[in-house]
Structures are given as structure tokens and as C-alpha cells.
């Protein structure tokens, strides 16, 4: 029986956004490649169920949830200048949150790792407002579910989307039971995620931000994961790992500019897998966030699943890799790692 799975439902295509970068073709192309590469045959495919209003309410304010429902019932509209709602968007957003909940359920029972191929994404969504293509914070809701349903005491959230996950950070900012680690491009949307944002009150040290200049590439990411994420995560010892898996750091992405390759996503997924193997029986849930190039996203997701489930697939880039991509760690990355360690060393003995 496969130990790695995916969450997918055709209803995720019903969140209609027109010509917006966050569009249904992202999932159509990704599922297409999973079929074509025969990865799908080696994965457990799980059909998600809707989250309940109560579950959404663990993270979001009731008036906000009601406003989204009402706006969709009246035909949809713009939630903010970046975020489109169509008639079915409320139902799809509830199914997206439910998908990550079902992924947690699966890894707490039979499976080791699950990638939830959901949309709309979630990590920018705050308790009382959506933004940046996000309606409900899927990963935050699933984190609360793991705490309530399975009494999981310590959860690590790794957010490798090219944007900072302001919503997730704020929801758990004073919470020592959730370690939020984000590596992101800076300066960039949404403008949060400086390395001085380390958490508040009991949660100090449990928010770890690594903002980086564009173009640092695979080697830079692997260096940051090795130098900061691995030591802190091993000291924290999570009982479950969630990933805000946005693949908009790929070199071909029209929005992000971090110059990762699909193979590079496999490397960082492998690092997170090794953390989960040594701390929490390999339990990992990855939830789709960004990733907007319709060729790069499917290959990046395939590469991540390959790393999670030892699928034995030879990962190729879907387009030529620019010769200018860095295969070494720049001095700016080394300097930033030093600064982040300095900002966090009071809270982590290992640093
Ligand atoms: Zn993003």
C-alpha cells in the first residue's frame, strides 16, 4: 500500500478567476503530469470533504465567514484588488480547508505524507480578512484540527512559498505550540516577514523568518534549510509537519524571482522529510499555495512527491535552465543566515 498520497477534487476547478494567475489550469496541468508520469499509480488518492463552519471558525471570525458566503451567493466579486470570488468560491474554499484537514487525518492514521492539491491557497488569509488570492487559511485550520482532534502538542509549519505567509504568522504569533518557519523573497508582497518578527509573549522564538534577495537558487535554499531549519526543528521536535508548499520560487514563475528548479524543490522536500522522519514518524502534510507557471508548477509538485514517496521518477526541468542560475551560496545568503541566527539564538540553544 502506498505511504504517500494526494488530496484532489474536480470541484477545486469551480473557483473561477478568469485570466488571474491563480486559475484552475494550475491543477489541471498538475494532475495531467501526475497521470502522464505514472506517479498517480503509486500514490493514494483521497477525495476531500468540506470543512465545517465550526472548523473554519477555529481560525476565522464569524462575520468574515458570513461575508464570504453572502458575497458568493450574490454572484461573487473582488475581496481585495488581487482576490477574486466567483459564485462557487465559498464552497470551494471550504473544500480546500477540508482537504488539508483530511490530509492531516490521513497522516495521523495510515499514511506518511500527503500533498493536498487544493485551491484557493491560504497563507495570506488573516483571521478577519482574506487577501493575496487567499480566502481561508487552510494550513492554519488544519493545524487547529490536529491540535483538537489528535491532541498534537507541537506542530512545525514550513512555508517555502516565495511570499511571506502573513496570515499564518499572525494567527500563531504568540503560540509556542506552533513553530512557523518562512523562507521568502524580500522586499516583496505582502511586505511582512522581516527577521525581527520572531513572535510575541510565549511565542517568542517560534516565528522564524528568513527574508532573502531574489535569485538565490537551489544552493541558497538548501544552505538556509541546513543552517537554520534543521537545527531549530530538531530542537523543537514537532509531532507533525505541515508545509505551505508554494512553488512560485521556480525560475520560470511569472511572479516570483528566487530561481529554484523543480529538482531543487525535491531537495528541500527531502530535507523536510528527513526532519519528519527523525521527529514524528515521517508525518508531513503539504498544502498547495502559489506556483503560477503552468509547466513549472506540475514538475515542481512531481519532484516534491518523488522526494516524499520514493517514486523513482527521474525529474527533468520542463524548460531549459538559464545558465545564469547560481549553483553556489552567495555571500548575501551567508550574511543573512548569520543575522537570522543572531535574532533567534536567545530562543534556540543549538544556535
Ligand atoms: Zn506565493
CA distances from 131 to 72, 99, 190, 235 (A): 16, 20, 9, 33
| Residues near 144 by beta carbon (within 8 Å), at least 6 away in sequence | 55, 58, 59
The percent of residues above 90 in pLDDT, for the chain, comes to 97
Task: Report the pLDDT value the prediction gives residue 99, as an integer from 0 to 100.
Answer: 99
Asked whether the beta carbons of 146 and 37 are under 8 A apart, the reply is no
What is the value of pTM for the model shown?
Answer: 0.98
Mean pLDDT in the chain? Answer: 97
Give the residue extent of every domain in the chain.
Answer: 4-344
In the predicted model, is pLDDT for residue 161 greater than 90?
yes
In the predicted model, is pLDDT for residue 59 greater than 80?
yes
pLDDT band of 327, cuts 50, 70, 90: confident
Asked whether the beta carbons of 29 and 23 are under 8 A apart, the reply is no
Higher pLDDT, 19 or 272: 272
In the predicted model, is pLDDT for residue 341 greater than 80?
yes
pLDDT per position as a tens digit, 227-282: 999 999 999 999 999 999 999 999 999 999 999 999 999 999 999 999 999 999 99
User: Rounded to the nearest whole angstrom, what is the distance from the C-alpha of residue 138 to the centroid of ligand 1?
Assistant: 14
- Domain range 4-344, CATH architecture: 3-Layer(aba) Sandwich (3.40)
In the predicted model, is pLDDT for residue 154 greater than 90?
yes
Query: What are 41's three cell numbers?
Result: 499509480
Please tell me what DSSP assigns to residue 319. S
Task: Report the pLDDT value the prediction gives residue 106, as an integer from 0 to 100.
Answer: 98
Catalytic residue among 15, 124, 164, 267: 124
User: Rounded to the nearest whole angstrom, what is the distance from the C-alpha of residue 184 to the centroid of ligand 1?
Assistant: 9
pLDDT per position as a tens digit, 95-141: 999 999 999 999 999 999 999 999 999 999 999 999 999 999 999 99
User: Rounded to the nearest whole angstrom, what is the distance from the C-alpha of residue 289 to the centroid of ligand 1?
Assistant: 6
- DSSP string covering 259-281: -B-HHHHHHHHHHHHHHHHHHST
User: Rounded to the nearest whole angstrom, what is the distance from the C-alpha of residue 290 to the centroid of ligand 1?
Assistant: 4
Any catalytic annotation for residue 124? yes
In the predicted model, is pLDDT for residue 291 greater than 90?
yes
Task: Report the pLDDT value the prediction gives residue 95, as an integer from 0 to 100.
Answer: 98
In the predicted model, is pLDDT for residue 2 greater than 90?
no
Task: Report the pLDDT value the prediction gives residue 313, as an integer from 0 to 100.
Answer: 96
pLDDT per position as a tens digit, 294-315: 999 999 999 999 999 999 999 9
User: Residue 96 region, left (φ>0) first, then alpha (ψ -120 to 50), else beta?
Assistant: alpha
In the predicted model, is pLDDT for residue 1 greater than 90?
no
Amino acid at each position: 500500500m502506498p505511504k504517500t498520497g494526494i488530496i484532489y477534487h474536480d470541484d477545486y476547478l469551480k473557483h473561477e478567476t478568469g485570466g488571474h494567475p491563480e486559475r484552475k489550469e494550475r491543477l489541471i496541468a498538475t494532475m495531467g503530469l501526475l497521470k502522464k508520469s505514472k506517479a498517480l499509480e503509486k500514490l493514494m488518492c483521497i477525495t476531500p470533504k468540506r470543512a465545517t463552519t465550526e472548523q473554519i471558525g477555529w481560525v476565522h471570525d464569524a462575520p468574515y465567514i458570513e461575508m464570504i458566503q453572502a458575497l458568493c451567493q450574490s454572484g461573487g466579486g473582488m475581496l481585495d484588488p488581487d482576490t477574486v470570488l466567483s459564485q462557487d468560491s465559498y464552497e470551494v474554499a471550504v473544500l480546500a480547508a477540508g482537504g488539508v484537514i483530511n490530509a492531516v487525518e490521513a497522516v495521523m492514521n495510515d499514511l506518511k505524507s500527503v500533498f493536498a492539491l487544493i485551491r484557493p491557497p491560504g497563507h495570506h488569509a488573516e483571521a478577519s480578512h482574506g487577501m493575496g488570492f487567499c480566502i481561508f487559511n487552510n494550513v492554519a485550520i488544519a493545524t487547529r484540527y490536529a491540535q483538537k482532534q489528535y491532541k498534537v502538542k507541537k506542530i512545525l509549519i514550513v512555508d517555502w512559498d516565495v511570499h511571506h505567509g502573513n496570515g499564518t504568522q499572525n494567527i500563531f504569533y504568540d503560540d509556542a505550540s506552533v513553530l512557523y518557519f518562512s523562507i521568502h523573497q524580500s522586499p516583496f508582497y505582502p511586505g511582512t516577514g522581516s527577521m525581527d518578527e520572531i513572535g510575541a509573549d510565549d511565542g517568542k522564538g517560534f516565528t522564524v523568518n528568513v527574508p532573502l534577495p531574489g535569485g538565490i537558487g537551489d544552493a541558497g535554499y538548501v544552505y538556509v534549510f541546513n543552517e537554520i531549519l534543521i537545527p531549530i526543528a530538531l530542537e523543537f521536535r514537532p509531532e507533525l509537519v505541515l508545509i505551505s508548499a508554494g512553488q512560485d520560487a521556480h525560475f520560470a514563475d511569472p511572479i516570483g524571482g528566487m530561481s529554484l528548479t523543480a529538482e531543487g524543490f525535491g531537495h528541500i522536500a527531502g530535507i523536510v522529510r528527513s526532519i519528519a522522519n527523525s521527529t514524528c514518524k515521517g508525518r508531513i502534510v503539504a498544502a498547495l499555495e502559489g506556483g503560477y507557471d503552468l509547466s513549472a508548477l506540475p514538475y515542481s509538485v512531481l519532484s516534491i512527491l518523488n522526494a516524499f514517496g520514493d517514486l523513482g521518477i527521474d525529474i527533468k526541468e520542463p524548460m531549459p535552465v538559464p545558465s545564469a542560475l547560481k549553483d553556489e551560496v552567495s555571500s548575501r545568503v551567508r550574511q543573512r543566515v548569520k543575522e537570522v541566527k543572531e535574532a533567534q539564538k536567545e530562543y534556540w540553544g543549538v544556535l
